[in-house]
Amino acid sequence: MRFSRVKAKLRNGDAVLITCCHFIDPSVYELVSLLGFDGIWLDLEHHATSDETAATLMRAARVGVSDVIARPAKGEFMRTGRLLEAGAQGIMYPRCESAEEAAELVRWAKFAPQGERGVDGANGDNPYCAVPIPPYLKAANEHTLLITQLESPAALDAADAIAQVPGVDVLMIGPGDLSTIAGIPYQFDHPLIADAYRRVAAAARRAGKWWGTVSGSPEHMQQLLDLGAKFLCHGADIIMVKQGMELIQERFAALGFTFENRLAALAAEVERAG
């Protein structure tokens, strides 16, 4: 197995920066990993990516240095094991609401005696039966990164209990869902979000764990770093491609080129209807 770059840096006291890849072309994962990002967020919660495709993307990322942090859907504990077998260095578990749910994540993601993850070793994690099983089990338990996402007011209330669960490494605030469930959709400057940062930072500090969230700018990220955040996420390939194409349109419209931008038209229609 390849040890987690993210977990090693966190243990060293360093902050880590991961980015999200939505496209399923392996060359995207190869590119990002060769560029040297700490990790790639592979989202299987909101996308129809199959386990087979995910394994191919992880294989492409192995040519570089980036961890693959895979996010299954809530309750997909069996899938968690398959993603780890395929070579994910970490699991980002969404919508964690309690210490009991966090313990269930650990149970399925760690081998005995820490958990009850099933043993195979014939896939990319071992890799391919190359490592004797006893040292493989020990190394996997030590180096696999487990992230619990707190994405509701109820999860914030349980932050201290979740942080105390052995095997949980990182508490991660999901501000999109948190703000939406709280009735303030995407108002990221709302006092509730600022309070969430403080509460989760305190819970992580008391438990000796790391915490983090997503950030849209260097200025905001500096604020998070000042609060002690270490696990930080920024950017997504689909947004960068969209913004790049919009920049082309903006630059060349001055030369008389026109574009039938159906995305802009749809956005305007939805806004008018709302």
pLDDT digits (tens, 9 = 90+) for 69-91: 999 999 999 999 999 999 999 99
Which pTM was predicted?
0.96
**Assigned domain for 268 exists:** no
**Assigned domain for 226 exists:** yes
**Assigned domain for 227 exists:** yes
Query: In whole numbers, what is the pLDDT of the chain averaged over residues?
Result: 97
**Helix (H) or strand (E) segment spanning residue 73:** none
**Assigned domain for 273 exists:** no
**Helix (H) or strand (E) segment spanning residue 145:** strand 145-150
What confidence score (pLDDT) does residue 274 get? 80
pLDDT digits (tens, 9 = 90+) for 116-171: 999 999 999 999 999 999 999 999 999 999 999 999 999 999 999 999 999 999 99
How far is it, in rounded angstroms, from Cα 186 to Cα 41?
21
By three-state DSSP, how is residue 97 classified? Answer: coil
**Assigned domain for 261 exists:** no
Tell whether the model's pLDDT for residue 29 goes beyond 90. Answer: yes
Residue found by looking up tokens 């770093």 in the block:
225
Tell whether the model's pLDDT for residue 51 goes beyond 90. Answer: yes
Tell whether the model's pLDDT for residue 230 goes beyond 90. Answer: yes
Question: Count of CB atoms within 10 A of residue 185's CB?
Answer: 11
Q: Domain count for the chain, please give it.
A: 1
**Assigned domain for 10 exists:** yes
How far is it, in rounded angstroms, from Cα 29 to Cα 55?
11
Which structure tokens are listed for 7? 């977990």
Residue 265, φ and ψ in degrees, nearest 5:
-65, -40
Rounded mean pLDDT of 198-219? Answer: 98
Percent of the chain surpassing pLDDT 90: 99
Residue found by looking up tokens 């999860």 in the block:
155
Which structure tokens are listed for 64? 């570089």
What is the domain range of residue 39?
5-237
What confidence score (pLDDT) does residue 33 get? 98
Residue 144 is given by DSSP the state -
Dihedral (C-alpha) 196, 197, 203, 209: value to the nearest 10 degrees?
140
Rounded mean pLDDT of 47-65? Answer: 97
CB 232 within 8 A of CB 39: no
CATH code, domain carrying 136: 3.20.20.60
Question: Count of CB atoms within 10 A of residue 231's CB?
Answer: 28
How far is it, in rounded angstroms, from Cα 51 to Cα 250?
39
Residue 210, φ and ψ in degrees, nearest 5:
-100, 160
**Assigned domain for 34 exists:** yes
pLDDT digits (tens, 9 = 90+) for 8-25: 999 999 999 999 999 999
Which structure tokens are listed for 236? 């997504």
What confidence score (pLDDT) does residue 20 get? 98
Tell whether the model's pLDDT for residue 1 goes beyond 90. Answer: no
**Assigned domain for 201 exists:** yes
